[in-house]
Amino acid sequence: MNFKDSYPEYIAIEKQVRRARVERSLAIALMIADAAEIGMRGLKKLARTLGAKRAGALPQWARPVGVSSES
């Protein structure tokens, strides 16, 4: 005998718990992605603040949009 045969009234609750776990996992993933994005923006701002204002001094990923190293 398995759990679903012994307690059929709990099948709906089991589905709800599974859905809640998926929603919680998604919320955690979004928080991690937001934290990473905020961290990257902070690092870019820090690099610019510390004097690396020349486009060539910044790594490619940290350069402002529209600025090229060829001038």
Task: Read off the pLDDT of residues 9-60 as tens digits, 9 standing for 90 and up.
Answer: 888 888 899 999 999 999 999 999 999 999 999 988 887 777 655 555 666 6
CA separation for the pair 23, 36 (Å, rounded)? 20
Please, are residues 42 and 55 in contact by the beta-carbon 8 Å criterion?
Answer: no
Rounded to two decimals, the pTM is: 0.56
